[in-house]
Chain A
Amino acid sequence: MAKQVTIYSTQTCGYCKAAKEFFQANNVAFEDIDVGLNQEKAREMIEKSGQMGVPVIAIKDGDQEELIIGFDQARLAKALGIAGA
């Protein structure tokens, strides 16, 4: 089963946009949550990650969830099994 990818982002954040561009370029489906608009999800992101910086990217593989804070293309590629990125 494919990994479920969720990105907690804000509309203006460049790192968030770069991460989403990377997903799109590699055909990775993702759920985009705008924590600027959704206060409840903003709290969820802060609880999950223990911090307030965006983006927070959650990659769920069955029961396992990997959280990546910030834009780190090498780490995203590894977590998603994207070769050569």
Chain B
Amino acid sequence: MVKKNYDIIIVGYGPAGVTAAIYAARKKLSVLLFGELPGGEVRNSGEIENWPGDGVTDGNTLAQKLVDHLKLHEDMVAVEVKKVARIEKRDDVFVCTGADGKEYQGKTVIYTAGRRPRQLGVPGEDSFRNRGITYCATCDAPLFQGKTVAVVGGGNTAAEAVIMLQKIAGKIYLLQNLEELTADPVLVDSFINDPKISAIFNAQVEELGGEVMVKKLDYKDVKTNEKKSLEVEGVFVAIGAIPNTEPVKDLIKLNRFGAIEADRYGVTSVPGFFAAGDATNIRDAQIIVAAGQGCSAALSAGDYLVRKQ
């Protein structure tokens, strides 16, 4: 059987991938879209107040709207809810191998696989993952009712985790490895004077310990080199994100952070391979920017296909 050669293979089911698919479908280009979570990481966002036209919405609602919108283009867009293991270029065709070993072919690729939460990289982290250590406050915070928890990080994701836990946890330690928080002041103001929250600065997490579940967090004061320990029943890690670019690391030029180097039109180091959203060297990891880049990448891919004919 001859494999179908799609006009565009899109990797990523978030705002960038869905937008690219909608634009491609409207140009009557055949699309195969891969993604593990319908709607993308957006689904795990809490409240969203900066998506124009929606006022206040939430991650789940917006993710479902993206999925439903894409369904209007079912005639042109096939969807595979699965992980992509590898993408190669063989002769003039891109071959995309799923985690299940199945191969799919496309004339072009739009890569929008986003980012995933960065790990601390300390002893104990893997052993207690989901045993008190979590990377998704939106998902798991409700399980920590009345408990003593630590949030590690100082940016907006950490601040949002603290805000979510404020109504749930009994005591919250916020550990930041710098001298101050980098989160937006509007977020910090809403919790910094809450007596249940203790912010600890210059704190470098060194080890996580426990028995079945996590019980202890060891850290070092980077200013004084003093080692300290906290008794905790939960650890929320919110120290940024890393691009999901492993499947293309041998194909495409990445920057030193592992992000795809793409220009404003989504053009990368390989002709026919376009990229958009948080997997790229984007400055603003925002839903609307990802969607806009997805549009540009789709128009670039369409243009590329026309020129090749």
**A interface residue numbers (CB < 8 A to B):** 10-18, 21, 34-37, 39, 42, 50-54, 69, 71, 73-74, 85
Contact = CB atoms under 8 A, between A and B. Distances in A.
B100 A35 contact: no
Nearest to A10: B142
Given A18-B39, A35-B142, 18 more contacts: A12-B58, A12-B60, A12-B141, A12-B142, A12-B164, A14-B37, A14-B42, A17-B60, A18-B37, A21-B38, A36-B143, A37-B142, A51-B130, A53-B130, A53-B139, A54-B143, A74-B81, A74-B100
A44 B58 CA distance: 29
Nearest to B137: A12
Contact of B139 (A50, A54, A85): A54
Contacts, number: 85
A29 B134 CA distance: 29
B139 A16 contact: yes
A73 B82 contact: yes
B240 interface: no
B139 A13 contact: yes
A18 B142 contact: no
A72 B38 CA distance: 11
B59 interface: yes
Interface of B: 36-39, 41-46, 58-60, 63-64, 67, 81-82, 100, 130-132, 134, 136, 138-143, 145, 164, 212-213
Nearest to A85: B81
A74 B37 contact: no
Contacts of B130: 51-53, 69
Contacts of A73: 36, 81-82
9 contacts: A10-B139, A13-B44, A14-B43, A14-B60, A18-B37, A52-B131, A52-B140, A53-B130, A71-B36
A6 to B, nearest CB: 17
B142 A36 contact: yes
A51 B44 contact: no
Nearest to A49: B130
B139 A14 contact: yes
Contacts of A36: 142-143, 145
A12 B138 contact: yes
Sorted from nearest, which 7 A-B pairs have the closest CB atoms?
A: A36-B142, A14-B43, A53-B130, A13-B139, A51-B130, A73-B81, A14-B44
B139 A52 contact: no
A36 B164 CA distance: 13
Contacts of B213: 52
A29 to B, nearest CB: 20
Contacts of B143: 10, 35-36, 42, 52, 54
Contacts of A85: 81
